[in-house]
C-alpha cells in the first residue's frame, strides 16, 4: 500500500524542504504514523512516500533510512536516479538477516542473541519482513560496501 505524502501535505497546506523527512513535521508524522499503525498491523505492506528532491541523493538516503526505521517495505520512486539508491538501501545486512533467521527458526520462547533479548513470538513478524526484504532486494555484503 502506498501513502500519498505529497497529497497529504497539500491538504495540510504544507511543503517540506529538501533534506527534511515527513516524520520531522508534527502533523504529517502523526497522520503517517496512524496510517502505518492501522494498516501494517492488519498485514498490509506499506511503501514509503516519494522524496520530491530528486537531485538530492544525500537527503534521499536519509529519507529511505527513516522509512526503514519506521518499518516501511519499499520506496515510491519519482526519478530514475533514485532507483539504484533505493535498491541498495533496501538490501539487508548480513547481521540483521542472520538474526532474523535465528528468530524465525527458533524453538525457544526467549533467548539471548548478540547481547540482547530475542523473544520469538513478538519478534517473528519483523523477522519475516527482514527475510522477505532479503529475498527481494538481496543482502548487503561487506565487499560491496555500504551507503552511510
What residue ranges define each of the domains in the chain, with the CATH number in brackets?
1-90 (3.20.20.60), 91-148 (no CATH)
* Residue 146 banded pLDDT, cuts 50, 70, 90: low
Helix residue ranges per DSSP H, 70-119? 81-89, 94-105
123 Cβ partners below 8 Å, 6+ apart? 103
Q: What is the mean pLDDT of residues 114-118?
A: 93
| Among the listed residues 26, 135, 34, the one whose alpha carbon sits nearest the alpha carbon of residue 90 | 135
pLDDT at residue 107, rounded to an integer: 94
Are 85 and 147 contacting, i.e. CB atoms less than 8 angstroms apart?
yes
Q: Which H/E stretch holds residue 38?
A: helix 26-40
pTM value?
0.86
Amino acid at each position: 500500500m502506498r501513502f500519498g505524502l505529497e497529497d497529504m501535505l497539500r491538504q495540510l497546506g504544507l511543503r517540506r524542504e529538501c533534506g527534511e523527512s515527513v516524520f520531522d513535521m508534527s502533523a504529517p508524522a502523526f497522520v503517517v504514523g496512524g496510517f502505518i499503525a492501522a494498516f501494517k498491523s492488519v498485514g498490509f505492506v506499506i511503501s514509503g512516500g516519494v522524496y520530491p528532491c530528486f537531485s538530492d541523493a544525500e537527503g534521499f538516503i536519509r529519507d529511505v533510512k527513516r522509512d526503514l526505521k519506521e518499518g516501511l517495505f519499499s520506496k515510491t520512486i519519482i526519478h530514475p536516479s533514485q532507483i539504484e539508491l533505493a535498491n541498495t538501501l533496501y538490501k539487508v545486512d548480513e547481521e540483521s538477516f542472520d538474526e532474523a533467521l535465528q528468530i524465525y527458526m527458533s524453538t525457544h520462547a526467549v533467548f539471548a542473541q548478540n547481547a540482547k533479548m530475542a523473544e520469538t513470538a513478538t519478534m517473528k513478524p519483523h523477522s519475516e519482513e527482514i527475510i522477505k526484504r532479503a529475498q527481494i532486494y538481496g543482502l548487503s555484503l561487506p565487499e560491496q560496501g555500504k551507503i552511510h
